Chains A and B, each alone.
Chain A
């Protein structure tokens, strides 16, 4: 299309202003034609992704919502419409409600324990210390291992009289030995620990990158003004780290809401459903019992919760970020 324009033409097509193409301002007669071919260009660019995404992501979600209104075992024809019955059943099932609670617990613990820990490590690695690159390499390692492998190895390690118990015993900490995976009152925290083991490196990397983006001069200036290290951290570093922290929080919450592989392989949601997440519950009570309609209802509930959270978070929190947040680029 632009090849037809004479060289040195009046109006360049896509510009790099944070806005993109400026609205048609050129000569009148070519405008309609230019608009059509511009639209065609945009459509061409967007189509592959949109088709793939709509067909294989959006449509299944909508279908799921549709199936949730039926009592269906996946084999017989889709006939037994039950309306909101599945939803009522799920919301009345103490095991499901417990699963929601568990997800909430992991979420809160991640924010309150795991993220500060990752931040602390990031600060630590930000100092000039020997072996920094090696440490960074190793801390990120668990993230690369699959959830499945993590679960299998940790399940072995956490056996009664397994590696963990032995280590505690050797360190003279016998009193701390517990039934890590068998005690319904503890298993959720065990799961949290293993989840943290796997993901702390990921958050640490993000935070470290954020820290390294803060100009050293600012911290120097604060120190020169007489601020202590803690004060510098609190009033200079932390605010500048804001966008990164908010992204970490976002990813952490989304991750908690979607937690599945690791829990499924390590505990199966047990014992007695004490480590169920919304997704393990959906698999056990929906898929495995051939109750597709019910499973879909659970899935829709899980999605609505994620959606409500993400929307709220984007509106209230991420919008504020001026520099570098995921969505901010478009607003200026």
Chain B
């Protein structure tokens, strides 16, 4: 035992060193971006690596004071909320049916949905653009939310189905005895039981909608409809010479995602872990 312990202490320190190194590589770019916003471009050109000297608040202040950032933030929120509002009902209904009903072609339908995992949204972007144009859904948050929901269905259904499967038969029998039909059972029993995984699906839908770039780029060409990723990209090219300002805008755009993440981290991690691996 003692012999086993000594190498363990060495490896233990090695563990910490490695973990620390990785932590640095992860955090430094983020810190760089945030600190960069507190400097002027002149400072950054003169000394790319350095603390703000002096601390400049104008960049952050101007952005927070301007319409643009808040409008884009609002647009991102609207699109994410719409996406979630569409995906959760559709996916849970479908996953429930695929989990608890037996019917001919069930696995085929499930496979149809899983195939959707391999369509990059990008493959469908050109025809979608044309369809949305015909349906007059361009420059409309729904024009982004609906396709995003459609492409998010596969992941959601894949995550949800095992959960619905796992609801014990006894519960269902009891419900049936009480005269509860499939819809009531779904709504009154299955959904509440699946709240954690529904939360996970919502979180995934929100995160992926929040960060989406290509579809909004193509659908939302009017600047007042832009979501944050579009705004950040445009800002970075429009003020391409003002590095400090670009970093400030980028950092501010990180914040909503980070805040959301800190709150929802447990949820995401738990959901991913158990949803994907349920045995």
User: Which residues on A are within 8 Å of B, measured CB to CB?
Assistant: 1-3, 5, 7-9, 12-23, 38-39, 41-42, 44-46, 48-50, 52-53, 55-61, 63-64, 67, 74, 121, 124-125, 127, 129, 135-142, 144-150, 152-154, 156-157, 159, 161-163, 166-167, 170, 197, 201, 205-206, 208-210, 212-213, 243-244, 247, 254, 257-258, 260-261, 264-265, 279, 282-283, 286-287, 292, 295-296, 299-300, 302-303, 306-307, 309-310, 314, 323-324, 326-327, 329-330
The 7 closest A-B pairs by CB, nearest first: A209-B273, A16-B169, A146-B211, A20-B102, A49-B94, A324-B279, A45-B97
Give the residue of B97, B114, B172 whose beta carbon is less than 8 angstroms from that of A15: B172
Q: Is B138's beta carbon under 8 Å from chain A?
A: no
Contact B120 A209 (CB under 8 A): no
Q: What are some 8 contacts across the A-B interface (CB < 8 A)?
A: A53-B116, A57-B153, A129-B19, A212-B273, A254-B117, A299-B124, A299-B126, A303-B123
Min CB–CB distance B173 → chain A (angstroms): 5
Contact B257 A144 (CB under 8 A): yes
Contact between B277 and A310, CB atoms less than 8 A apart: no
- How distant is B205 from chain A, measured CB to nearest CB, in Å? 13
Pick from A7, A52, A63, A299 the residue with the most CB of B within 10 Å: A52
**Which residues of B are in contact with A by a Cβ distance under 8 Å?**
12, 15-16, 18-19, 22-23, 25-30, 32-33, 36, 48-49, 86, 89-91, 93-94, 96-103, 106-107, 109-110, 112-120, 122-128, 130-131, 146-147, 149-151, 153, 157-158, 161-162, 165, 167-173, 176-183, 185-186, 207, 210-211, 213-214, 218, 228-229, 232-233, 236, 243, 246-247, 250, 253-254, 257-258, 260-262, 265, 268-269, 272-274, 276-279
Q: Which of B99, B120, B157 has the most CB of A within 10 A?
A: B120
In the assembly, what is the distance between CA of A61 and CA of B115, in Å?
12
Residues of chain B contacted by A13 (CB below 8 angstroms): 176, 181-182
Interface of A is mostly: helix
Give Cα A22 to B83, complex, Å: 35
Q: Is the CB of A124 within 8 A of B15?
A: yes
Q: Among A139, A283, A299, A307, which residue has its beta carbon within 8 angstroms of that of B118?
A: A307
| A23 CB contacts on chain B under 8 angstroms | 102
Whether A327 contacts B114 by the Cβ 8 Å rule is: yes
> In the complex, which residues of chain A have a beta carbon less than 8 angstroms from the beta carbon of B130?
63, 74
Q: Note all chain B residues with C-beta closer than 8 A to A63.
A: 127, 130-131
Which residue of chain B has the shortest Cβ distance to A117 in the bound complex? Answer: B22
Instruction: With both chains docked as a complex, state the minimum distance between the C-beta of B273 and any C-beta of chain A, in angstroms.
Output: 3
Residue of B nearest to A47 (CB): B93
B65 to chain A, nearest CB (A): 21
Instruction: Using CB atoms, name the residue of chain A closest to B249.
Output: A152
- In the complex, are the beta carbons of B181 and A1 less than 8 A apart? yes
B272 touches A209 (CB 8 A): yes
Alpha-carbon separation in the docked complex, A279 to B260 (Å): 29
Residues of chain A lying within 8 A (CB to CB) of residue B278: 324, 329
CB distance from B84 to the nearest CB of A (A): 14
Are B90 and A52 in contact, CB atoms less than 8 angstroms apart? yes
Q: Nearest Cβ distance between residue A20 and chain B, in whole angstroms?
A: 4
Question: Contact: B182 with A14, CB < 8 Å?
Answer: yes
Assembled-state Cα–Cα distance A154/B33 (Å): 9
Expressed in whole angstroms, the Cα–Cα distance for A163 and B39 within the complex equals: 15
Question: CB-CB < 8 A to B172: which residues of A?
Answer: 12, 14-16
Residue of A nearest to B102 (CB): A20
| Chain B residues in 8 Å Cβ range of A166 | 48-49
Contacting residue for B123 out of A9, A19, A302, CB 8 A: A302
Contact A205 B272 (CB under 8 A): yes
In the complex, are the beta carbons of B158 and A326 less than 8 A apart?
yes
**Pairwise interchain contact A139-B214, C-beta atoms closer than 8 A:** no
Q: A124-B19, A141-B261, A303-B119 in contact; A45/B147 too (CB < 8 A)?
A: no
Closest to B175 in A: A12
Are B211 and A129 neighbours in the complex by a CB distance under 8 Å?
no
Asked if B29 and A153 sit within 8 Å, CB to CB, the answer is yes
Residues of A within 8 A of B116 (CB): 53, 57-58
A52→B27 contact, CB < 8 A = no
Contact B253 A149, beta carbon cutoff 8 Å: yes
User: Which residues from chain A contact B186 at a C-beta distance below 8 Å?
Assistant: 45
**Which residues in B have their C-beta under 8 angstroms from that of A213?**
273, 277, 279
Chain B: minimal CB distance from A321 (Å): 9
Which residue of the partner chain A has the closest CB to B93? A45
Please measure, in the bound complex, the distance between the C-alpha atom of A285 and the C-alpha atom of B151, giving whole angstroms: 24
Closest to B159 in A: A326
Indicate whether A138 sits within 8 Å of B26 (C-beta atoms), given known contacts A15-B173, A57-B151, A157-B32: yes
